[in-house]
Amino acid sequence: MSRKFDDDDGPVTFKRSSVSKSTQSHSEVRKSTSHSNDGRSYRKSSDVPSSNGHNSSSQNGKLVPCAKASAVESSVGISKASTSMVYVRSPRGISKFSSFENKKESLLEKKIPVHVNEENKEDSEDEVENMPLSVRMKMNNINAKKATPIVPKKSSENSDDDIPLSSRLSLSKAPKGQQYGSNASVKQERPSTLSVKRPLDKSDSLHFSGKKSKLSDPAQSINAKQISAKSEPKVEEEDDNDDVPLSQRMNKLPTLVDKSSSLKKLTNVTKVNKGATPSFKKKANFKKSGNKSEQFKSTKLPPSSEDGQKKWTTLVHNGIIFPPPYKPHGIKILYKGKPVTLTPEQEEVATLYAVMLDTDYMQKQKFKENFWTDWKKMLGKNHVIQNLEDCDFTPIYDWCQIEKEKKKQMSSKEKKALREEKLKQEEKYMWAIIDGVKEKVGNFRAEPPALFRGRGEHPKMGKLKRRITPNDVVINIGKDAPIPECPIPGESWKEIRHDNTVTWLAYWNDPINPKLFKYIFLGASSSWKGQSDREKYEKARMLKNYIGNIRAAYTKDFASKDITKQQIAVATYFIDKLALRAGNDKDDDEADTVGCCTLKVENVTAEGNNKLKFDFLGKDSIRYENTVEVLLPVYNAILKFQKGRKMVLLFDIVLLMSPRPLTLNICFSELSDKRPGDQLFDKLDTTILNNHLKELMPNLTAKFFRTFNASFTLDDMLNKETKDGEDVKANILVYQNANKQVAIICNHQRSVSKSHSGQISKLSEKIEEHKALLKELKIDLDRARKGKPPLKGSDGKNKRNLSPEAIEKKIDQTDAKIEKMQSDMMTKEDLKTVALGTSRINYLDPRITVAWCKRHEVPIEKIFSKTLLEKFAWALDVDPDFRF
DNA sequence: CTTATGACTTGCAGCAAGGACG
DNA sequence: CGTCCTTGCTGCAAGTCATAAG
């Protein structure tokens, strides 16, 4: 398990030679990706390019001293001053809503003192920064003024260092300008459909109300085919929603005046929609300038207006749908070999268990135990059934299988009819109207009863997750909207709320863990989600400008005498280099998994030569296994942290003293070595860590390192490895490979499919066949050249007499086939444990992909599926020159 | 502070629909 | 034109992080 770790550069990746799920030990059946062919994955650790190297060192020196120094030294007490400095330089931190102003806007703002910018920069200046020089120059010419103030400032910070001039120049060479549509004209309809569907901005919604149908229709009809029944038509039907008075919608304008959130929206709007009205822009600007004064607390502006956090003005939806009541089947289970009659309720739960008979959960004692506990309650004390072991659920299991089979056997017509029926029932739940804009609802179904399928060794696995009823459900909806009709007669919603500071449409408490909520949100294609997605990536991009200093800061702290600082430094290093998650503390009633801050001493092993071996269960109990070489100070620090000296509490005396009840805690404690199970970073938790990160960059938290590393790596790899003039296929391969590296960095795994090994052997069999054929062909060729007829085929039949040329051609074809099959097999094996999807959905800035596609004429549809395109609608119009 | 809540993102599994293949 | 696979999508579990409450 080699890995490389170049210290300064990018995230370390590793070979996942023995990837495995935690569960593997218990459930060898299933996913243990590990056992079969371990040692030799095709993946090479070395093919990982070190990614984000460039930004690091050069910039260190440049950082404005105050920020950096202060950050470094600051520990809580001192930090105030320093913090303020940081903020001064980058007020943006304050605002979560900074991001989307468009360039013009920021230009207008000249009046605003420089420091305001950081915020505005993001999209405007920031983007500028990342653009090729040529482009930037153009822009400068156009608006000399704006550029000037902005650029200088930024560059002083760092950005310039990030990207070597040379590379910028080279970039600038690339002729751009192709619009997206032009490359992909064929597909154009898709994007357009999408964009039509959901205007991100309010301005649009305004039109909408009036006569949107008119506007959009013509365009649509052109591509009508592809426009599925879903989006467009509906919009129109629901025009009636426009009954939201225009005036109300207009309200937004005024509200702008108030605060943050509205600003956010606006700015976004303008950016997304170039056609935004001037008035909007002005207001936004106005706003902004107000903002600066708030620097420090923008997030907690006094709720001067009711809408400090306002997310919507009008919200209309139809609530959620519930699964149909249980239909008893009457199949009896056997208890000690004898059939037992169960009540419908008992039977329902028995059935939930029966259908899991062929899962790994059956190997888990905890699962059975928890199930039994819950089921026993339903059976009652004196039931014939007294223990689970003597129950035989196979009759129900078999019945279910048969039912499944029946369903499968239905003709496609029947299936279709069934589907349509379902659709019709659900149709009304699928949409919500937010401020006049129709948006898809994400999940509008109440979760059906089930046995809880916790991952890893979850202490609650197997417990009955009882049926959710309307009485469990809280609805959030606009004050003026009709309250959704409760779909179950005789019942009613638990509560109706009108909270416009949140985006959920409904929730209920999770029956398994009542303090958790299950929310109904809008779908991923909604503008709410799109907007926050965009903000996420902008923040990650901003990290690029700070990363050098952050690295310098933690490097300096590796040797700090202040243990807390030292731990923060090392933890940050891990998060940066290994893309570890933050690692919040967990309750005892959850699976025992860890992240960076919660690593236990036994999760990291020093192996000599500055090598550390990480081995722990992370999110979803996915195992993280990686050995990396680290800097000596880090190595030493880990040795020290492992040894520990943690405080052990011996006594705790509490004195209550009168006059004023004063509580005094006197602790008697001693130092002792850490033991397995103890925290490696005993002085840390995610709050401390994130607070520290915020001193280094406004609003920075641990998870952004993952986003940053992932997107940076993709951008970097794509631009290094894409060759000009390659065909689409080759380009896609490049993309896949980059995607794969990201997935490896993030440790995104999947279980090996059951049929994997079978498929591989089938493939290799085929390859052998073709090889044999090849041999034969070669002989034939030889003979043909000598004028002899071909030998009989392996099947004994005579073959046609072919010309040498024809045979040669055949040989070439066969060769190609073999090659393709071999490479297919390689990739298949290679990717068998790697999940590419997660990073594509959550970590890779879609603008990188879109821009790359435009530059290399790869149809975006080859990379993003339909839903992904919808989700990333906000990114589709990105400039081809976009770099992360 | 520290803990509890609340809201929202991330992540894997499983299934169903669609596509490749014989 | 059925079977075998793959792929995309959905479901819901499990994280992160901000903030309220104690």
Distance CA A587, CA A602 (A): 20
The pLDDT score that the predictor gives to residue A737 is 93
* Separation in Å: B11 C1' and A509 CA: 21
The reply to whether the CB atom of residue A867 sits less than 7 A from any atom in nucleic acid chain C is yes
The pLDDT score that the predictor gives to residue A204 is 35
Distance CA A547, CA A556 (A): 14
pLDDT in tens, A398-433: 999 888 888 887 777 777 888 888 888 899 999 999
Answer yes or no: are the C-beta atoms of A518 and A509 closer than 8 Å.
yes
Distance CA A546, CA A696 (A): 8
* Separation in Å: C17 C1' and A253 CA: 31
Please compute the mean of the pLDDT values over residues A712-724 and round it to a whole number: 94
* Separation in Å: B8 C1' and A311 CA: 14
The pLDDT score that the predictor gives to residue A830 is 86
Please compute the mean of the pLDDT values over residues A479-487 and round it to a whole number: 94
**Residue A114 scores a pLDDT above 60:** no
The reply to whether the CB atom of residue A766 sits less than 7 A from any atom in nucleic acid chain B is yes
CA A139 to chain centre: 34
The pLDDT score that the predictor gives to residue A785 is 81
- In sequence order, the 6+-apart residues with CB closer than 8 A to the CB of A465 are A447, A449, A450, A451, A452, A510, A511, A512
Please compute the mean of the pLDDT values over residues A285-308 and round it to a whole number: 33
Nucleotide nearest to A540 (CA to C1'): B9
The pLDDT score that the predictor gives to residue A417 is 81
The reply to whether the CB atom of residue A687 sits less than 7 A from any atom in nucleic acid chain C is yes
- In sequence order, the 6+-apart residues with CB closer than 8 A to the CB of A78 are A70
Cα angle: A688, vertex A694, A697; to 5 degrees: 150
Nucleotide nearest to A519 (CA to C1'): B7
pLDDT in tens, A197-247: 333 333 333 232 332 232 233 333 323 333 333 333 333 333 333 333 322
| Structural domains present in chain A | 22-58+531-686 (3.90.15.10), 333-413 (1.10.10.41), 429-522 (2.170.11.10)
The reply to whether the CB atom of residue A443 sits less than 7 A from any atom in nucleic acid chain C is yes
The reply to whether the CB atom of residue A450 sits less than 7 A from any atom in nucleic acid chain C is yes
- In sequence order, the 6+-apart residues with CB closer than 8 A to the CB of A504 are A476, A519, A520, A521
Distance CA A622, CA A624 (A): 6
Which bases of strand C have any atom within 7 Å of the beta carbon of a protein residue?
5-19
Nucleotide nearest to A23 (CA to C1'): B12
What would the two tokens of residue A664 be? 């005094």
The reply to whether the CB atom of residue A93 sits less than 7 A from any atom in nucleic acid chain C is no
The pLDDT score that the predictor gives to residue A675 is 81
The pLDDT score that the predictor gives to residue A405 is 84
* Closest to A577 measured CA to CA, from A1, A2, A6: A6
**Residue A580 scores a pLDDT above 60:** yes
Q: What percent of chain A has pLDDT over 70?
A: 61
* Separation in Å: B19 C1' and A756 CA: 19
The pLDDT score that the predictor gives to residue A775 is 83
**Residue A323 scores a pLDDT above 50:** yes
* Separation in Å: C5 C1' and A417 CA: 26
What would the two tokens of residue A261 be? 């959130």
The reply to whether the CB atom of residue A515 sits less than 7 A from any atom in nucleic acid chain B is yes
Nucleotide nearest to A513 (CA to C1'): C13
Between A817 and A501, the more confident residue is A501
Residues of A annotated as part of the active site: 843
The pLDDT score that the predictor gives to residue A193 is 31
The pLDDT score that the predictor gives to residue A345 is 95
Residue nearest to nucleotide B9 (CA to C1'): A842
Q: How many residues does chain A have?
A: 884
Answer yes or no: are the C-beta atoms of A461 and A489 closer than 8 Å.
no
Question: Which of A82-91, A580-589, A665-674, A758-767 shows the lowest per-residue confidence on average (mean pLDDT)?
Answer: A82-91
The pLDDT score that the predictor gives to residue A759 is 85
The reply to whether the CB atom of residue A764 sits less than 7 A from any atom in nucleic acid chain C is no
CA A571, A572, A577, A579 dihedral sign is positive
Please compute the mean of the pLDDT values over residues A487-504 and round it to a whole number: 94
3-state secondary structure string, A828-845?
A: HHHHCCECCHHHHHHCCC
Nucleotide nearest to A451 (CA to C1'): C12
Beta strand residue intervals within A609-688, DSSP E = 611-617, 623-629, 644-657, 662-673
* Separation in Å: B15 C1' and A318 CA: 27
Between A354 and A132, the more confident residue is A354
What would the two tokens of residue A342 be? 């169960």
**Residue A316 scores a pLDDT above 90:** yes
Between A823 and A874, the more confident residue is A874
* Separation in Å: C15 C1' and A524 CA: 18
Which bases of strand B have any atom within 7 Å of the beta carbon of a protein residue?
1-3, 5-14, 17, 22
Distance linking the first and last C-alpha atoms of chain A: 31
Cβ neighbours around A540 below 10 Å, total: 23
Highest mean pLDDT among A362-371, A671-680, A772-781: A362-371
Q: Counting beta carbons within 10 angstroms of the beta carbon of residue A662, is it exposed (0 to 12), middle (13 to 18) or buried (19 or more)? A: exposed
* Separation in Å: C3 C1' and A769 CA: 21
* Closest to A757 measured CA to CA, from A820, A828, A837: A828
State the pairing for strand pair A517-520/A506-509: antiparallel
**Residue A816 scores a pLDDT above 90:** no
- Summary mean pLDDT of chain A: 70
What would the two tokens of residue A854 be? 């435009």
The reply to whether the CB atom of residue A751 sits less than 7 A from any atom in nucleic acid chain B is yes
Reported confidence tier of residue A123, pLDDT bands at 50, 70, 90: very low
Between A733 and A770, the more confident residue is A733
The pLDDT score that the predictor gives to residue A643 is 84
The reply to whether the CB atom of residue A456 sits less than 7 A from any atom in nucleic acid chain C is yes
